[in-house]
Each structure stands twice: as C-alpha cells, then as structure tokens.
Amino acid sequence: MDRRARDLVDSFLNVALDRDEMARLRALQIRDRGFGYDLFGAEKQSLSLGYFFLRWLYLYYFRVESTGHEHIPTGGRCILASNHSGVVPIDAAMIGIDIVRKLEPPRLMRAVVDNFAAAVPFVGLFLQRCGQVIGTRRNFEELLAADEMVGVFPEGAKGTGKPFSHRYQLLRFNVGFIELAIEHKAPIVPVAVTGAEEQAPMLLNLKPIARAIGFPYFPVTPTFPLLGPLGMMPYPAKYYIDYGEPFLFHEEYSAKALEDPHRLRILAGRVRKRIQGMLHKRVKERPGIYF
C-alpha cells in the first residue's frame, strides 16, 4: 500500500473497531524497514485489515473458545506447535486472532506456511502482508533470532489433507522445529485445535488431480467439487483452542542432541503425544460439534 491507502485503512479501522481492539492492533510490533514493511513483507495496515475480516469468523462463525494463555510467553522467542486440519487451513488464522484478542500483551504469531500456499496467486502475497512466512529453515531461524513468536504445524500439509475417517489422529511430526528450539533456546508451546476437522470432512483425496495441479491433495467433501468453489466454504463447526504447558527442551538438552536424529524423533513424539492427549480430552468433553 502507498501512504494514502494506509491512511484510509487506519481511518476505516478507527470507525469499524472499538477502542480496545484498536489498542491491541497498535500494540503489535513489526520491524518497519522504512518502506512500511518488515524484512518478510509484513505490513501493519494489511495485518490489521486481515484481523478485521477474520474476527467475524472467530466471533460468530466458529465461535472460538480458548484456554491456557498463561502458558504463552509474553515476550521473547517461542514456538507454538499445533495440530493442523480442515482442508482449508483456517485453524492457523484462528490461533493468530485468538492471541491478539486474549494474550496480555497481544503478540503477532508468525505462522510458517507451506510453499504450495505461498505460490497460489494473491494468497501468498496476502499471507506475507499479514505477517506469515514461507516455511524455509532460514526464515524460521531469522524469526527466532529476532525474538518472534513462530507458529508451526509439524504434520505439514498432510495434516490438512487427512480423510475424515482419521480425524483427531495426529500424523508423524517433522523434527525441524525441535532442532531449532534447542539451537535457539526457544520454548515450545503445544496447541490443540478442536473443531477444524469437522469444518470440511474430506471423504476422498483425488491424488492424480492433485499431482497435476501441484497441490498436496485434491479433496472431495460433501459439498466440493459438487458445488464448485462455493463448496469449499467451511461448515460452522465450533472451535476450541487449548494451549498447554511449554516444553523447555533447550534446558534439558545441549546442542549435542542435534547430532542424534533418533533423539530428535523422540522429542517430536513427546510434543505429538501431549497435543494428542489434549485433543482427546477436548473431543470427549465438548457438548457438540456445530452447536
């Protein structure tokens, strides 16, 4: 955006949002390099607009409830490690909105997104402007070095492409976030998102079509592709987001642990097991799925 567009956005948001929400958005920090953007392309007005539109989904469509904010560091580097599901990865956005609304003081979560999402026209630029980054190791390292809060989804794109018959069964976690947590001395906060599995029940994955278009999966749901693009609209499942006690692996293990792939796999398994338990508990306790 140019200066005039940014001023228009600021004027609009001052009218559209209440004083508390505006104060929270102003409290979010980006390291402006003098052009209105930070090193990764995040722009304050763009992420504020993203918040404005996504908050409606958060408040009225998914009706998000959350617990455990006391486990999230209020400053300094940290990693939020979450399960991933729902075909369309809206769960990451709901975590980001929740942290802005509920954490004291509010923080910007820099989610590490899959390369395929970043390559989608307009989507990649929108994610960048809203503070999210392409999932390269260098980007991850630079965010931690800058004491940012980084959101990761260790199941990868396969998590959002799970069939409905495997809902709330976590896939094997990648170990890269464990390496970086130890190397950069960052706590890992486990995050369990319940509800996203039911927002778009995937009945079938048409892999030949997915390969042809360069996507990790091509979903068949009760409404897609039957209803065309409209069929990708998520169902109004009620979301629950639970944050667990952080893992401090950097205090338990030295850099020597990075040389042991088996040890890293065990540590990733510990995080996975914690999140799996949080999910089972929430699924058992929730009174319903859509209501």
Write down the domain spans for the chain.
66-199+234-285
Position 41 scores a pLDDT of: 86
N-term to C-term CA, the chain: 40
∠ Cα 285 290 291 (to 5°): 75
Q: Which fold would CATH assign to domain 66-199+234-285? A: Glycerol-3-phosphate (1)-acyltransferase (3.40.1130)
Position 124 scores a pLDDT of: 77
**Whole-Å CA distances, 159 to 95, 111, 154, 180, 200:** 16, 15, 8, 21, 13
Position 240 scores a pLDDT of: 98
User: Two tokens at 288?
Assistant: 């319903």
Paired residues of 150 in beta bridges: 79, 110
Digit-by-digit pLDDT tens for the chain (291 residues) are 888 888 899 999 999 999 999 999 999 988 887 778 888 889 999 999 999 999 999 999 999 999 999 999 999 999 999 999 999 889 999 999 999 999 999 999 999 987 766 666 677 788 888 888 887 889 999 999 999 999 999 998 888 889 999 999 999 999 999 999 999 999 999 999 999 999 999 999 999 998 898 888 899 999 999 999 899 999 999 999 999 999 999 999 988 889 899 999 999 999 999 999 999 999 999 999 988
- pTM of the entire structure? 0.93
Alpha-carbon gap, residue 274 to 268, rounded angstroms: 10
Position 29 scores a pLDDT of: 84
**Whole-Å CA distances, 58 to 3, 33, 78, 141, 194:** 29, 31, 24, 30, 14
Alpha-carbon gap, residue 274 to 255, rounded angstroms: 23
